[in-house]
Structure 1
């Protein structure tokens, strides 16, 4: 048997050895154990290998463990491959040094081949396009990271249930964002979503109905008070008007006056009544246009709210 010198290790082996009390079963020689294998120092017999590494799964580039680093980023639902794809750089290497012209040309060819081979099927290509659209919409609407990740997961579920067949990918992506916002009770006006989405209003509406029907989304009804801050900001009203409008909206929601009514219409009526109480000149047309409703709807909700308010606040129509 050829003798192997265990001190001549490869680049990924640990040269720190530990003596063992047992003897070699082949020659009864001295046995040493490192992080990779247990071998005899006399004859080179490998007694045991592929041992379990009981060390930490992180490494630190400092003197202590305050700067822990792990290999790679965590898995994410935002990418079609969960974030495990390879990213090839352009002009600099890992240490920030500028690459030569020949090396940049070589990396350009590698990037082109890597881009062509990153999708294994048409479904995977559609998934990548849809997740990219979800990220674009959530970024344009300045939504949080949790909304973005859950919308990406909802889009994955829609593709898994074959809901993309015969439908627009952009519509399903926009409906996924809208559906997650509805599930969390976060106010999102559908018109604002249509402004940044690459699909019309009917496309988003039909796609959302499909997701809600087929996947059974736990959507919550939109409360009128959740629309007051955005509406007040668009109309640039005073803080007193905003607080009074929110109080009226909460009272309408608790007394079930807003049941079966358009939430934006109730919010517009509350803000209009509050502005009239505090002497701020806002017309019904201005408030209705900002809320995305009609003056007729605003007047109908105003009448119901006037009867609800203690003391019967009476305001003259603008």
Structure 2
């Protein structure tokens, strides 16, 4: 056979062959796909040292191959993630050690002997230690919360990226130790899913109701957990839950509770106090409707003419969300203090004398 610029030597792979071009070894597809054909002359495209070029006209098709998929560092992993090749999933807490070691039977369902039972008992003990690490109790609760997030996402048919975003919020909440007291892990899981769904711009009204339906916590606790995650972790890019909370409380009051001339001024001032409550934050683990009720009462206290009482506001708000006079009193004081600290005075004219458009 006469010698040309290229002589081909077949390899064992049916798809590829090794080619020598000017003394260099290169790899070429035996049946090249459309991307393996030269865009200029439709000739063979060969690869050598991460450079692809046409064997006929010499056109360089690609100089290198770049993997643009998210790195493990982008996914929030700790340690030397760039050198790791393990699949990363924010829903995993134990690096995939989800093996279930039964207590009384082997893998075929046969009963264990005494010797086997003791062996399996040791395996279970070491498995739990490796599975959850040093903070086993807290990591176990985090693992249960992540399973709740998977369950909620599966029941609602949410995209995988929304579920993983919620898992990251729950991890951050765990690191910040937001769970505790009245803030249960179940509520935090629902709140994290609510924030993730809102961030993805999914229809809000359906999400607010449906997330709570599949969460192991009441609807108000889910909203309170979402507000706590948003305030404590500084998740400012996510829309707030119940943006019209102040108007919801106003609508719950009697029509003649605040005269028409003072209603707008009181609402504007209450809306400003509500924004301060989100920024400070005031009562981060409390429902936004409760804070809105305290903001409305605080706005009424700041104006020269008083029209509302704590009992009146608490009774009206209780028709929407459970609350009490003591909570209205407590958060009202914190909101007024935040107003004074921000503006250096309790004069409501600082806000009311501005044009309405400048408040947003």
TM-score, length basis structure 1: 0.40
